[in-house]
Amino acid sequence: MHRSKLFKLLIAFLALTMFATACGGSDDDSSSSSDSSSASEATESSSESSASEAAEEAEETEEAPAEEEAEEEAEAPIVQDQEESVLEPVFGGTLRWGLEAEVDGINPTASALSAPGLTMMNAAFDTLAAYDVDGNTVPHLAESFSSSADCKTWSMKLRDGITFHDGTPLNTEAVSVNFLAQYGDPLVGLAVRPYYSADEPITIVDDLNMNFNLTDANCNWPSALTGQLGAIGSPTWIAAAQDDPTLDQQPVGTGPFIFESRVQDQVTRFVRNANYWGGDVYLDAVEFYPVTDGDIRTSLLLEGELDAQATTNVESIASLAENDSITQVLDDTGDESFLMLNSSKAPFDDIRARQAITHATPRDNYNTLINLDVTRKADQMFTPESPYYNPDIVQLSDRPDLAGPLVDAYCSDNPNNCTSGKINIEYQYSGPSVVGERIADLLSEGWADFFNVTVQVLPQDAHIQEAALGIYNSIGWRQFGAVDPGIDRVWLLCRAIGGISLNWPRYCDEDRDALILQADAAATTEEKIPLYQELSKMINEEYLYVFYHHTLWSLALRDGVENVCGAKTLEGVSLRCQVNGRSFFQSTFIAD
């Protein structure tokens, strides 16, 4: 790996914005259902006039300089080229990896695996498919995939001779146990059940061959198996964990490392799998340390208490760029950071309230004071270099002049939801985190003329649970940006809404669903482009997300940590180094 030119830019930005660093900093932004559709439609109908007027006014008053500024911001992606180490690998050593948060378990069939959980997952488990360096889906634990002409039935062949850490063989029966456990889980199942035939979701052909029977056509379905849904655990362990959920903390997979010990909120340790099917594993062990405050985690890295970390804290990224003992692998082409609004309950069941908070959000200050003007502002879920990017989308934040009339109209109609002419809301974020507190303060100040804001701070696992249950008003969040955008349908479709929901805003739009499913069925990028561009337009008009920026992820590595980007399939295909901070560990070694 080499140092990106971005580091010099980061240093320059840091010098120009030192006033912002005095504010402190931390890590990573955090990031009844059946009535949701009708309630949203009724609210939109009742507020259609004011919404349309506000949109027209916004279009009339948008100035050309703002458009020029948006064009300037649409620069090249902040991404460092992936390179393998030129050094000869050596065996031995323990890699100490800092995580942004703890997770509720490391069981792909039952746990809510956010970025930290997915990172630990990659130590113990392998996925059936993976992304190569160009973003193509390639077989990993699987040997091959093929589909029917209509892309609704997919056949998978497993590699032969692989065993789990407990000696159980990997076969189609093991995959079936994993699939059915995910299918039946209250939360994980929301990403599975709606997309497979209810009568016969899977069919086992023999020990190595099986079919997956989809509800809808999906011509890039194997991409769904590159993450949590494709991580395969020992069926023996899964059965035991269903009887004793404490075993969710003691994962058993086929991966390059074997679980040894775990003390929640302190350290989780994995040791080398000497019989790894994928080839040599060089590290003796990898240990994961959850440190929610990014400043503290970065200090531990610089002091030698950690060897590596994944972070989205821009101040940490910028300060680490000045340190010759740290190498960073950077990527901002993944997920987006944004404010997310719950459309199923007051006040954001009314589009006027959603529009008002969008207009009142001080996004320029956010990106300057929190992100040092290093990150690229986002108006949509696609980065400018994506073929699906819609250049016509402009999110009207930093427009408090548009917010006032909407708030006045809302409070006139809903006086019980307002105090002193302002809408009452709660803002929630994941912490404890100094930067999370700074963001909450900045947003509360920007909204103060129009909203009475109370703030709630929760650990990341509880933060995710409250979002899933819909017991929030507004929430700091990080999402989208899947390498294959079709995977992001699980956050958007009406069928993902329930008592527990992955459609976090609980917003149902059947027309939007039809568009997403049409894109899934498209076989080529050219066919998908107009569909995803229209999807971005619809999301922009629904005012459910106030996009801040394209999240900048850094894998920060101390000198001596080598070849994090060297993982390959059994056929020698180089794998993508990181996906939203999640990396592989089988190729990593520590040089003397």
Q: What is the pLDDT of residues 273-320, one digit of tens each?
A: 999 999 999 999 999 999 999 999 999 999 999 999 999 999 999 999
Kindly tell me if the per-residue pLDDT of 3 is higher than 50. no
More confident: 91 or 75: 91
Kindly tell me if the per-residue pLDDT of 21 is higher than 70. no
Tokens of 572: 């020698």
Topology of domain 81-296, per CATH?
D-Maltodextrin-Binding Protein; domain 2 (3.40.190)
Q: Which of 420, 432, 422, 423 is nearest to 456 (CA)?
A: 432
Sign of CA dihedral 267, 29, 477, 415: positive
What is the distance between the alpha carbons of residues 338 and 439, in angstroms, rounded to a whole number?
Answer: 11
* pLDDT value, residue 33: 30
Which sequence spans correspond to the domains of the chain? 33-55+334-550, 81-296
Please state the rounded mean pLDDT for residues 558-568.
Answer: 97
- pLDDT above 90: percentage of residues in the chain: 81
Kindly tell me if the per-residue pLDDT of 28 is higher than 80. no
- pLDDT above 70: percentage of residues in the chain: 86
Rg from Cα positions in the chain: 23
More confident: 258 or 460: 258
CATH code, residues 33-55+334-550? 3.10.105.10
What is the distance between the alpha carbons of residues 246 and 118, in angstroms, rounded to a whole number?
Answer: 19
Sign of CA dihedral 103, 104, 108, 114: negative
* pLDDT value, residue 38: 31
What is the distance between the alpha carbons of residues 48 and 115, in angstroms, rounded to a whole number?
Answer: 38
What is the distance between the alpha carbons of residues 339 and 354, in angstroms, rounded to a whole number?
Answer: 11
Do 374 and 7 contact (CB within 8 A), yes or no? no
**pTM of the prediction?**
0.83
